[in-house]
Structures are given as structure tokens and as C-alpha cells.
Chain A
Amino acid sequence: MAAPFEMTDDNVVVIIGTGAGGGVLANELAQKGVSVVALEAGGRYLPQDYVNDEWESFGQLAWTDTRTTSGDWRVAKDFSNLPAWIVKAVGGTTTHWAGASIRFQPHEWKARTTYGEVEGANLLDWPIDAEEMAPYYDRAEDKLGVTRTNGIPGLPGSNNFKVFEAGAKKLGYKEVHTGRMAINSEERDGRMACQQTGFCFQGCKWGAKWSAAYTDIPAGEATGNLEVREKAHVARILHDESGKVTGVEYFDTDGNLQMQRARVVCVAGNSFESPRLLLNSASSMFPDGLANSSGMVGRNYMRHLTGSVYGIFEKPVHMYRGTTMAGIVQDEARHDPSRGFVGGYELETLSLGLPFMAAFLDPGAWGREFTTALDAYENMAGMWIVGEDMPQESNRVTLSDVEDDFGLKVANVHYSDHPNDKAMREHAYRQGAAMYDAVGATRTLPTPPYPSTHNLGTNRMSERPEDGVVNRNGRAHDVPNLYISDGSQFTTGAAENPTLTIVALAIRQAEHIAGEMNRGSL
């Protein structure tokens, strides 16, 4: 039974957003007896609601509220109002994610120290490290039921994986397997095993993939300590004369402005909406936006360098049959500057259905060069590149001149590749194509980055207040009862899919917040 809390209840923790960060934090706090009001901009969709049709599902789940773009990234040209492919729903993008759950490599917590100074990059070490995070990763892997951890077997290899694996082995890659996936390879936690249905991006209709929507959120609600308010669009965070936050203004499902009082506010609206909210919460005390004395709110936007490689073969592959992300090569994830760049990248299989392949293979392209590739759709194998991109101060979220339906300025997302990003992407394209060539590809195609799903860094964690927005606990340097709880707190992006780390950080932050409340210091 969901707890109803009064708008005037100033003892609640208000969490903005219910994805991997906010959704997990809400449950973890609720389990510890903390009263939580979670405000979610989207509606609630569960496995029975998910639609296994790419465009129809996109219409159901995607965050399509207007955003604007700038910078030299191709997304700004091809998808100018859609810089991100993320979800607006209870559970956030955990509905859409493919399930890849891998830990940062130890050195990636210390990118500045490991990589040295990189011109044009704003690298910084995280104030936390692998040893400190290890127990939280353990708990996150157990919560998500990650395969190849906790004695859980790996998923079986699909056609797309078998092509990928054979190519990788021909190239001499050693770390090739079907991934550490938050997808049940056997029944676990009351959720069934994967049926290789495809459409992981559209929400798992079996519930085999972990999503906060049907795990942490209902578990939190069952304690009676968590109230989730759907279709609540947050406008502004309020503060008092002492500089502490006191509540949150939001537009409810009927468009009426409401104000929920709060003891603590945790922002987890993703790397676009979280800085947008802080910037839209500017006041006479915080003229540059809330928690922005460093000027870093919105800066250092990272998205993983990404890109895809598709290979076409003489015979059918049927890559779309089975899990979207069916395997990984980790050999290139290491830091090895002899390759011409710092940091590393993962290669992960990927497939798109025909409708999305047409939209994303080479946006804007037409004619036979394009259509002959699609003619070979059945014989295609695909992979996605996930590599560490450099934080740059000029890659940033700012407030656009465009306003949303509520009269709030929308986020403008500016991104241009760093030379390191370009060098890494070219290397990854070559290696990916070589994998497919090694097993007889008749044609390989590099595909530009899709609208971003890994959005990171715009409220980054730093040891010193002048270098970032939040401290080692995700607590704003400037505002003692304000937290950032999503991927925007990432100091650097590492090469790994970010969800597992976001979840681990949320588990850790819940422990911290509950502890501070018990000690009376929150």
C-alpha cells in the first residue's frame, strides 16, 4: 500500500525521478524506514503494457519533450530535438536499458591520475575508489541478479553473439562472453528466465530483465514508506534564507502547481533534466543556479563515444532474435595509450529491428548505397561501441530560449567530440569491422552514434567544491540537504555501461542519508 504523505510534511525525503538512481534510492530509503515522496514525470507502465513494436513503444515510453541541441555531434543535425533516447516513466530508463552490468575497472575511478593531463579535457579523479565501491557493487549485482555473478549462469549465445564471438576469437580477443547481464538466465526473485524475445529496449514483457518499475518501486511501496506520484513534472527546488532546500514545486497530472515540503531533496532526473532543474531553480541567493558556485552545473556532459558496426554476410544471421545485447568483448577496455588514445572501450552486440535500422543506420542517407544494406537486413550482425569520452567544460547542458508546456526553459545540449573520442571511435570501428571481416563479412558498415542513452557528468562529483557540484556522497557542496542521485554525478564516464554503477552509488547514498538522518545532521 503506497503511503500518502501530506504536502506540508517536511520530514519526507523528496526524490525527483525514479530510474536506476532515484528508483533504487527510493526503495533503499523506504526499507530503512525513511519517508519518501518520489516525483516521476512519466506514467506507470508494466510488462503487460509494453509494446513489442519499435515506433509504437517509442511513442509510449520515450522522453520526447522538446530539447534543443548544438555542437558538432551529428545527433544535433539528424535528431536536433532528440539528443537522448531515454524513458519518461516510473522506473525511468531501466525500462529501456539492455541490461549490461559491468563494474568500472579500478583505474577508471582515477582517470586524471591514470591518463595524465589531456589537452582540452577536464579530467578529474573521483573522490571514491574501487575498494570503497566493491561492497556496493556486490549488493548491486545481487539486487539486479547479474549473470556471471553470485553463481548465476550466463545467458545462452544467440546467432548475433555467435558471429561476434567467432570474429573476436579470430582476432585473438580473449575476454569474450555473453555478458554480465541483469537478465535472468534462470528464475530468480519471482521473475522468470529470459525467453530470447528481443525488444529489450521496449520493456521486457516477461519481467526477466531487471527494471526498477517492477522490482524496487513496488518493493519500496510495500513498506508503506514510499509514495510515488506519477506525471509530476518538477519545476523548481525551493530554499530558505539559510540556503537549505525546503521543498519542491511541481506540476501535477492535471497541470496544477503543487508544493511538497522536504527535509532532503535528491535529484535523479538524468543528466539533462537534473542540471536543467538546478539552473531553473536560480534565486537571488543562487543567481547562477542552485548548487552552482563552481559553475560546473551542466558542464562536462559525457555520453560515451558510441557508434555501431554492422556486418553483412552471405547467409542469414537473424540478429534480432534474442536479447538485444547478447555478448561482449572486453579486451579493448584497458587503458593502453599505444593505441593512440587514453581510456578504453567495450564492444557489445546490438540489434535493431528493421524500422529502427532504417532510422539509425545512416540518418539522412538515401539511394542504393543505403537501401542495399537494408536489403541484407536478414544477413546482418551488429555491435555497439561503448567507450570513455573525455569530459569537456564546453560540452554542457544550458537553459534554452525554448520553453516547455509549463513555461519552463528546456535543456539545450551541446556536444562536440574531443580528439581522443574521435581516435578511439576510429580504432573501434576498425576493430569491429575486422571482427566481421574475419568471419567472412561481404560488407561492413560504421554507424554514427544514436541519440544518447548513457548521459553522464553534468553535476559531477569532486573532492574540492571548486571542481564539481557534489561531494563523495553525492551531496551538493553548496547545499547540505540537496543530493544528486543519478548518472549526472559521474566524475568521468569509464568504458562501462553506467547503470550498475548508478545503482551501486544509490545503495551507498541511501546508507549515507539514513545515517545522517539518524545522527540528526540532516
Chain B
Amino acid sequence: MRRPGRDDTPDRLYTLTGGRTRSGPDSPFDLVTLVVAESEPTTGMQSEHVAILRMAQTPIAVVEVAAELGLPVSITKILLSDLLAAGRVSARHPRTSALPDPDILEQVLVGLRSL
């Protein structure tokens, strides 16, 4: 059970997302969007949603959620979109624009130097 999804057939992935096959171009999630749970899991909730809410008790990036679930990033984004729409998670999107903010770059340098 450590890595469900790895050897799964596309049919199972299809079922996981309730038949939806597209997260769509309007998906707000970046690979490094940080997700935070806003509620506790409830009974009857899809097991992947439960797992996400548990791991997002502290901020966790979309890519970490995907790795922990053992699911492709695109499927993970669909699951997260459901939770976001239901208000069960909030999303902290990266503050990057077309060009990196010089102040952020300076903060990155300071952080790296103190490693």
C-alpha cells in the first residue's frame, strides 16, 4: 500500500477522478503550490481525499502530495481541485511572475548561503 497508483491501469485512475479526464487549462495548481487542509476528513470521504487532508495539516506542495499518493501529478491536481472547490483545502500559489522578483532572489541566496 506504500505506493498505490504506480502500477495501476489508466482505468483505475479514471475511476479515482470520477470519470473526469481533464484538470483543464484553468487548473490553479502549480507543481509547487502549497496546499493546507482547512478541515478534518469526514466519514464517507474518498480515501485519497482523506489522505490529502491528513498530509496537508501542515503546508505541502502539490508535487509532494502526488509523490506521497503515488499518483501522477495531473490526477493529483484533479483531486486537489475537488477539495479546493469544497473549501476543504486552501492553496498558497507561488509568487513568481514572468521574471523572478529581485527581492525573492536575494532571499533565496541568503537561504542557500546559510545551509
- Are A and B co-members of a single complex? no
> A residues bordering B, Cβ < 8 Å?
none
> B residues bordering A, Cβ < 8 Å?
none
